Structure 1
Amino acid sequence: MDSLNPEHPPLTMTPADHAPRVWRFLGTALWGLLIFVAMFVGQVGAILLLAALRGLPIDMASIQSVGREPAALALSVIMGLPATLLAVWLAIRIKKASFVDYLALRWPSWMQLLFGAVGLILLVLAWETVSRSLGREATPGFMTDLLKSGRDKGAALLLLIAFSVAAPMSEEVLARGFLFRGWSASFLRVPGAIILSSLVWTVVHLQYDLYFLAEVFTIGLWFGYMRYRANSLWLTIVLHALNNMTAVVLTMWLGG
């Protein structure tokens, strides 16, 4: 037998063979921070490029001035997507894992999509009812002003692409893709990963007040549950895109 032959010793597993192909809690957290920084750099970089093309000085005043323009803001959001994808790809590549499998880029069934959409609609309607009972706006005022200004200045399509395609993809790849994958494999398990990734996603929206942040968090919990239930990131990307697209269209063209 080869296993007893000194010239053919049995195969032994090295520690590298057992190395996990998923970043766990700390690795996911650190890489998540780097991914967020990459997204931010991509967004700010677009603003800086526009300022430079106009011959403006590269300072905070120029960034704020250009960044308030609807078209510039839309381009900023769009440019955050490739930066996010590149950083996530690098993190997964280091683990020698499959990008598609790591992020669960599988198309959901129509029943899963329907179930997720119905749950999202009920959740949004519940918040809409609470907003009306409290005399609050259903959409943050600054977003309403931005979208209507973009419509009047011919940037409606660009804003629609930014908020209905680029933003959902960037945020879902980070939150329900990379963060959920790593944290669900850690001591947090699935429930903790859903909660913590939803909190991180909420922090990304700190431009809102506490009321809207609470709404964002609950929607994040639903997205996290659907990501786990369907094992599909495409499902949450689609749900996120539908939610944003509905808000953008209602605000820009129907005054909702």
Structure 2
Amino acid sequence: MEHTASSPAGDPSENFTSEQVVPAPWRATGWLVVFALLHFIGVFFYIAGYGGYLGAQLGAQGQVMDPAAIQAQVAAHAATPGAMAGMYLAQFALILPVLLLVSRFKHQSAGQTLAIRAFPTNQILPWIAVLAAFLATQFIVYRLFQIDAGEFLQTLAGSKHLLLALVLVIAAPLLEELVFRGYLFQAWRNTRLGFSGTLLLTSVLFTLLHWGQYNLVQLGFIFAFALILGLAREKSGSVLLPMLLHLCNNLFAAVVVLYLGIL
């Protein structure tokens, strides 16, 4: 279940000793499947809970519960910003504790496994500049080719939903970076995949996480964004830098889409 490895070439973090361990690649892949299941279970719990809440309200008012009517209300609610925030928080509450638990080893803390370590602060501004160039390119492409924002973003535009904004800016970067650029990156980086394979695989998986919410052009930009985050993880040796970039990206999106209503 565990194996020893040295840190990636060029990783500015401290080298692993022979007693330190990282997650075995197949072990990590197995837990990825568990995380995916928890992802869907979180959605189910929220939807079922909301349906139960509606049923309890009707019962308290002495009304006869119509399952079809309740199902229709639940379906309508599921597309609202509040429901999106609630479902993600349910997923967050299920996945994060499991992730922290499986990241602990006899000779290696969860912080080491997830690459939660300091990085040179002089790397921040260059990477912020890279992110700014990426966002500018995305904006130009969207305007130049008049890319359709899609139903998902249209639902969020101008909603000014504070809880969803907090989820997007804080919870999403935290959980997603710990999973993709933390746990999975650490597990696969020292295998035959190497850096290039790990970067590609984690970026593809990160993109698939957003499948169904965005169109193909948007998914292409999400993939490019994931590549930037993976490069930042490799160059800094820390998950904190990609987490910071992810936070900045989502903060920009929250202000522009949620509060200004610009698509």
TM-score range, shorter chain: 0.7 to 0.9
| Matched residue count | 236
Question: How high is the TM-score relative to the length of structure 2?
Answer: 0.80
Partner of 1:189: 194
Q: 1:51-84 CA distances to partner (integer Å, 9 max, x unpaired)?
A: 2122175997565333122212211112222222
Percent of aligned positions that are identical: 26
Tell me the distance in 2 between the aligned counterparts of 1:95 and 1:185: 19
Structure 1 residue 241 displacement after superposition: 1.3
2:149 matches 1:144: no
Q: 1:85-108 CA distances to partner (integer Å, 9 max, x unpaired)?
A: 122123223666310000111243
Partner of 1:212: 218
Amino acid at match of 2:90: M
- Structure 2 unaligned segments of length 5 or more: list them: 5-17, 57-66
Which residues in structure 2 correspond to 1:91-170 (within 5 Å)?
Answer: 91-93=102-104, 97-137=108-148, 139-148=149-158, 150-151=159-160, 156-170=161-175
Tell me the distance in 2 between the aligned counterparts of 1:41 and 1:19: 36
Partner of 2:53: 53
Partner of 2:101: 90
Partner of 1:11: none
Tell me the distance in 1 between the aligned counterparts of 2:112 and 2:188: 15
Tell me the distance in 2 between the aligned counterparts of 1:123 and 1:106: 26
Tell me the distance in 1 between the aligned counterparts of 2:168 and 2:226: 16
Provide the alpha-carbon RMSD of the alignment.
2.6
Partner of 2:30: 30
Change (3 A) 1:104 1:66: same
Change (3 A) 1:106 1:214: same
Indicate which of 182, 192, 195 corresponds to 1:177.
182
Amino acid at match of 2:129: V
| Rg larger in structure | 1
Tell me the distance in 1 between the aligned counterparts of 2:168 and 2:180: 16
